[in-house]
């Protein structure tokens, strides 16, 4: 009998959720996603020190001799995620997601400017924008930035998405892809209610199922990529979703597990459901977001967490730059 992973791949595009290049080589996903936390973790691993050092050396050359270590580290920070993305694209056949600085999640113009810069870096390296998804937080401002970027042929992956109102706004903005965070939704409900949830009762599973059915019912082109899983039960309950981005540990568990994997999400079933369409504008978005405690809390927490990871990464780069400078001057 085929493994759960093999069966899942027959109905869902499997994506690797990691910055660990060795793990990507092992599981051979179609696409790969990264985020600030994953990049910061990978950048601190000895096996990827050469990537970090190359980026720092290039940053030093580009910034010039008069630039301070802080200025060089800031320049390197802007290019490190793309450096990892380029390495990942050497392995996978599909697309890589590279995230805009979470600290500008409420600034549409800066998000657009940063996204254009990321795409420019890839294109200067000979990589088509068709192979890159720009990740933006699903704030109203992030969604509006994505709407403009999509018009420019820059495809977007909307992250930190927890509520149907965010998903509807993304679909109306005609973004390429959304990444609802299954596990983080579960985390919130477990903490809030003190209950544990299994299988189809998992609030994260229910949220993604609702979003998927809404999209298919109304024929939106935006695709759904479930993310942030806590266990393989959440994954198997979403078999049939357009894409699922899965951490290496859970990919290994799926690969080593056998059993029947029935399809749970299906466009034909969604089309038969009685679903009410939700008109969406900024006022409605903000009202629904304020009413959804879980989405409000987890979006705020997610932006703060990714921002902290970026600050830690900047410190790591500054420390490594100092070490390299000492080696050169020794």
R_g (Cα) of the chain, nearest Å: 20
Residue with tokens 């609030």: 203
**pLDDT value of residue 84:** 93
**pLDDT value of residue 34:** 85
Predicted structure pTM score: 0.93
**pLDDT value of residue 321:** 86
Which residues are catalytically annotated? 135
Q: For residue 227, list its beta bridge partners.
A: 181
DSSP string, 265-296: --HHHHHTS--------HHHHHHHHHH-HHHH
Nearest Cα neighbor of 136 from 111, 116, 167, 113 is 111
**pLDDT value of residue 68:** 81
**pLDDT value of residue 63:** 77
Q: For residue 16, list its beta bridge partners.
A: 32, 246
Pair of tokens at residue 197: 């949830």
CATH topology of domain 4-324: TIM Barrel (3.20.20)
Residue with tokens 């939700």: 278
**pLDDT value of residue 330:** 53
**pLDDT value of residue 283:** 98
**pLDDT value of residue 329:** 60
Separation CA 29–CA 294 (nearest Å): 31
**pLDDT value of residue 328:** 61
Show pLDDT as tens, one digit a residue, over the chain (330 residues).
899 999 999 999 999 999 899 999 998 899 998 888 888 898 889 999 999 999 988 888 887 777 887 788 888 888 999 999 999 999 999 999 999 999 999 999 999 999 999 999 999 999 999 999 999 999 999 999 999 999 999 999 999 999 999 999 999 999 999 999 999 999 999 999 999 999 999 999 999 999 999 999 999 999 999 999 999 999 999 999 999 999 999 999 999 999 999 999 999 999 999 999 999 999 999 999 999 999 999 999 999 999 999 999 888 888 888 888 777 665
Kindly list the domain boundaries of the chain, sorted by start residue. 4-324
Nearest Cα neighbor of 82 from 30, 135, 118, 45 is 118
| β-pair type (223-226, 243-246) | parallel
Q: For residue 18, list its beta bridge partners.
A: none
């Amino acid at each position: 009998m085929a493994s759960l992973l093999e069966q899942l791949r027959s109905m869902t595009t499997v994506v690797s959720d990691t910055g660990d290049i060795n793990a990507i080589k092992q599981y051979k996903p179609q696409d790969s996603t990264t985020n600030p936390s994953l990049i910061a973790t990978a950048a601190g691993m000895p096996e990827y020190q050469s990537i970090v050092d190359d980026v720092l050396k290039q940053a030093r050359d580009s910034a010039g001799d008069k630039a301070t270590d802080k200025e060089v580290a800031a320049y390197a920070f802007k290019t490190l995620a793309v450096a990892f993305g380029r390495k990942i694209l050497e392995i996978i056949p599909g697309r890589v997601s590279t995230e805009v600085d979470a600290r500008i999640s409420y600034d549409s113009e800066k998000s657009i400017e940063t996204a254009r810069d990321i795409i420019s870096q890839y294109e200067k390296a000979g990589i088509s924008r068709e192979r890159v998804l720009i990740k933006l937080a699903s704030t109203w401002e992030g969604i509006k930035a994505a709407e403009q970027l999509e018009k420019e042929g820059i495809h977007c992956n909307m992250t930190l998405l927890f509520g149907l109102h965010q998903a509807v706004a993304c679909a109306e903005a005609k973004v390429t892809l959304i990444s609802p965070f299954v596990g983080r939704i579960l985390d919130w409900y477990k903490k809030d209610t003190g209950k544990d949830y299994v299988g189809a009762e998992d609030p994260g599973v229910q949220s993604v199922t609702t979003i998927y059915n809404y999209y298919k019912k109304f024929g939106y082109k935006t695709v759904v990529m479930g993310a942030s899983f806590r266990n393989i039960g959440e994954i198997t309950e979403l078999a049939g979703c357009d894409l699922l981005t899965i951490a290496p540990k859970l990919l290994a568990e799926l690969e080593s597990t056998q059993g029947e994997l029935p399809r749970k999400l299906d466009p034909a079933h969604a089309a038969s459901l009685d679903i009410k369409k939700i008109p969406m504008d900024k006022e409605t978005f903000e009202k629904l977001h304020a009413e959804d405690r879980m989405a409000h809390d987890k979006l705020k927490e997610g932006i703060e967490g990714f921002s902290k990871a970026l600050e830690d990464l900047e410190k790591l780069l500054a420390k490594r730059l100092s070490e390299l400078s000492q080696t050169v001057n020794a």
